[in-house]
Structure 1
Amino acid sequence: MKDGRSDRLSLRIGALILSLVFASCSAQRKEMEEESKDFTPPGILNVQRIQIQVGEEPDYHGEVRAYDIRDGDVPVEIDASAVNPDVPGYYTVVYRAQDKAGNIAERTATVEVTEYAVEGWNGTAADPAEVRALIEETCAELFPDGFDGLTELERARVIYDWITQNIRYRSDPDVLSVMYDDRFAEAVKAALSERCGNCYTYYAVSAALLSRAGFEVKRAWTVEPAAMPGQVRYHYWNLVLLNGVWMHFDTTPNFDGTILNRFMLTDEEIAAKHAQDWTYTVEEEDFNDLFDES
C-alpha cells in the first residue's frame, strides 16, 4: 500500500499481522540533490594588465588558469576580438571559464598598445645630477616664463595637467620593483624619461615637480583591496600645502588611463571617493639628494 509519503508492507505471521512502514526517501533524496548541486563558478587566476608595443603580438595566456572546487582545472576561453595591436590605445580582453555544472566565470584585463618600447628599471641607482637635469628641463617646458606671475593654484594645475596627460599608467614587475624598493629618484627618472609608471611613479614625479615649483609636499599612502583574496595593494599620492592648507593631489589615472581628477581635494572630498572605513598615512619625504648639488 502506498500513500505517496510512505510504503507500507503487511505480513501475516500466524494470527498476527505485522505492518512495516518504510518512509519514502524521495523527499530527502531531493533535498540532498539540491544541496549537492554546484552553483559556484570557477575562479580565473593570474589575470594581469598587458602592455605591448605597436605591432607586437600580445601574450594573452601568460600564467592565466581557471580552477573549480569540484572539477579542478578547467579550460579558459580568451576573447581578444576588441584588441587591435597595430593601433595605439587601451583595449579589453575577456577571459571566460565554465565548469561541468554550467557555472560561468568572467574576468577582463586592459591591453595597452604603445607607440614605443619601454625599458623599465634595470636595478641601477639613478644619478641625482641626471634626475635634476630632467626636472629642470621639464619645468622649463612647463613654465617658460618662470614661476613668477602665477598663483600657487595655477602652478599646481599646470603640473597636474601635464603629468596626467603625458605619463601613462604601467604596472608590470619592472615598475613595481621601483615602488617596493622605495626608489624615489629612479621613479622620477622613469616618469620623465620613459613617460610611464605606477602610482608610486606618479607620486614621485608629482613631488619632484611640485617641490621644484616651490611647494611643500608630503607623501600619503593607503592599503587598498586587491583583485585576489589575501593580497594587498598600496596606493601613493601627494599632500600639498596650498595657501596654508594641506590638500590631496593624486595624478594616478585609472588602470585604463582614465583621468580621475583628484586635484587639490580636502580630506572630506577624497574620503567620499573611497570606502567608509578608508584611512591613510602621511610621511615626510627628503628631496635633498635631488635638489642639493653640493
Structure 2
Amino acid sequence: MKKKILLALAVLMITIIAACVGLYLYYEEQSDLVYKEVFVEAGTSECDVSEFLKKDNSSAKFSDESSFDSRVPGDYKLTIIATLPIFGEKSFDTVLHVQDTTAPEVSLTKDSIEMYTTAPAPTAAELVESIFDVTNCTIDFKEPYDFSSEGNFDIEIVVADTSGNETIKSIPCKVIDDVTPPEITGVEPLTIAQGDTVSYKKNIEVTDDHDDEPTLEVDSSAVNVDKRGTYSLTYIATDAAGNVAKKTTSVKIVSAKITEATQETVNEMADKILADIITDGMTQLQQARAVFDWVVNNITYSETAGIDDVLSAAYKGMYYHVGDCTVKQKTAEVMLNRLGIKNMEIEKIRDTRGHYWLLIDVGEGWYHYDPNLQLDGTLIFYWHDADLWAYSNAHKNTHNYDPSKYPTIQ
C-alpha cells in the first residue's frame, strides 16, 4: 500500500513538473514576439509595427511614447505593447535603425561647358539641375578649377548627403580666351527724308572670330527724324565674351516737302546731272551705264519713301539723294528719257514686298536695268532674261515678274 502511495506521489510530481516546464516554454515562446533590432533604408518604407513582429499578433502596437521618422537616419528606441494568450498585456523593447546607404541621384544642367575667360566662374550648384536624396546635400567641386585661363579640362562635381554618401558627376569644360571685339561692316552716312522711317540695321553686318551671333544695338537717341539737321548714330556690337565694338556715322534729315517737283524743274535738274556725266561720242549703252552709275552711287536707299509719281520721285532722288527702289527707278527713267533712250517700268509680282526696275532698248532689244545695289553687292545692268531669272531664283525671288505683261526680253 505504501509503495502505491509513493508511486502516485511520484507520478503527480512528474506531472506537475512537466506542466510547469510546458507552461514556461509556452510563456517563453509567446514572449519571443518582437525582434530586438530592425534595420530599414531611410525613405524606402513607412515602417509599421508588423515589421517588428516575429509572428502575427493583431493586438501589437507602438506605445504612446514611441516615435520615429523613417525618412531621417538614426537609432530609435521603441516599445511595442501586445496582448499574449493566458498572460495578458506585455511590453517589448526594440531598436529601429534607420540607415542611409544610398548615394544621391544627381542630374546636371548641361552635358558640357564652353565659356570665355571673361565670364563669371560658375559655381558647382549652378551646374546641378536636380538632386534626389532623403537628406540635405552639399554641392562642391572636387578640387579648385581655373576658369580664367584658356584650356580644356573635366570638372568633377561632388554631391554628398548627411550620411556621407557621395555622387561624383563629371562635365567637360572648354575655356576660351577671346579679347578680339566683333567687326561691324556696312556703316555709311545716311540721308533720310523728314518723317520717313528707316531700318538702321539694313545692310549692316557683324562678324566675330568666335561668336557666330554677336549682338548689334543701335543708339539713335540723338536722331530726330521730324526735324531737319545732321545727327550722330552709333552702332554697338557685343560678342559672347563681352568684347565691344562701336562705329558712329551721321544721319542727315532733309525736308520731305516736294513742292517744286514740276516737269520743268525736274528736267533742269536731270540736264544738269547729265551734263556732268555724259561726254561726246558715247553710245546709248555707255550713256545708260553713266546714268545707272550715278543713281547707284548718289541715291542712298531709304525704305517706305512713299512716292509713286515720276516727277516727285525723280525730284527726291536728284535733290535729296535719298529714296527707295521706286525713287531710283524713276530718277533713272527721267534721265534716260532726256537722253532719248527707250525704256519701260517693270514690276515684281508682289509677295511680302514689291520692287520696281526698268527695261531698256538701245537698238539691241530689251534688257534688264535695275539701278539698285542688291543686298549682296550685285549690279544688274543690261542683263539677259535668263541671267535675271537665275539670280532671282537663287535670292528668294527678288525679281519674279509676269513675262506676259512685257515684250520679249533678250
Task: State TM-score, norm by structure 1.
Answer: 0.51
Deviations 1:62-111 (A, max 9, x none): 9xxxxxxxxxxxx986699xxxxxxxxxx99533579xxx799x999983
Q: SS of the residue aligned with 1:280?
A: coil
- Classify 1:25/1:142 alpha carbon distance in 2 versus 1 (closer, same or farther; 3 Å): same
After TM superposition, the structure 1 = structure 2 runs for residues 172-211 of structure 1, keeping only pairs within 5 Å, are: 176-177=304-305, 180-211=306-337
Match of 2:296 among 161, 164, 167: 164
CA–CA distance in structure 1, aligned partners of residues 292 and 109 of structure 2: 65
Task: Please name the residue that 1:261 is paired with.
Answer: 379
Deviations 1:221-250 (A, max 9, x none): 44799xxxxxx4443322212434321212
Q: SS of the residue aligned with 2:341?
A: coil
Confirm whether residue 126 of structure 1 aligns to residue 252 of structure 2.
no
Task: Please name the residue that 2:160 is paired with.
Answer: none
CA–CA distance in structure 1, aligned partners of residues 245 and 366 of structure 2: 39
Shift of 1:265: 1.2
Task: Please name the residue that 2:270 is paired with.
Answer: 135
CA–CA distance in structure 1, aligned partners of residues 372 and 363 of structure 2: 23
Deviations 1:154-196 (A, max 9, x none): 222222233334x131416xxx33xx34132111112222333
Task: Please name the residue that 1:58 is paired with.
Answer: none
CA–CA distance in structure 1, aligned partners of residues 233 and 378 of structure 2: 19
CA–CA distance in structure 2, aligned partners of residues 269 and 128 of structure 1: 36
Bigger CA radius of gyration = 2
% same residue: 19
Task: Please name the residue that 2:35 is paired with.
Answer: none
Gapped runs of 5+ residues in structure 1? 1-5, 17-21, 37-47, 54-61, 63-74, 81-90, 226-231, 285-294
| Contact 1:200/1:236 (<8 A) preserved | yes
CA–CA distance in structure 2, aligned partners of residues 269 and 92 of structure 1: 38
| Contact 2:329/2:370 (<8 A) preserved | yes
CA–CA distance in structure 2, aligned partners of residues 30 and 150 of structure 1: 68
Q: Indicate the structure whose relative CO is greater, using CA pairs within 8 Å and at least 6 residues apart.
A: 1
Match of 2:249 among 104, 111, 115: 111
| Contact 1:93/1:110 (<8 A) preserved | yes
- Please provide the CA RMSD for this pair: 5.3
Task: Please name the residue that 2:343 is paired with.
Answer: 217
CA–CA distance in structure 2, aligned partners of residues 103 and 194 of structure 1: 42
Gapped runs of 5+ residues in structure 2? 1-40, 56-101, 112-126, 131-186, 193-199, 201-214, 221-231, 406-410
Shift of 1:50: 6.5
Letter in 1 for 2:236: Y
Shift of 1:262: 2.0
| Contact 1:49/1:109 (<8 A) preserved | no
- Classify 1:103/1:264 alpha carbon distance in 2 versus 1 (closer, same or farther; 3 Å): same
Confirm whether residue 9 of structure 1 aligns to residue 127 of structure 2.
no
Shift of 1:264: 0.7
| Contact 2:348/2:354 (<8 A) preserved | yes
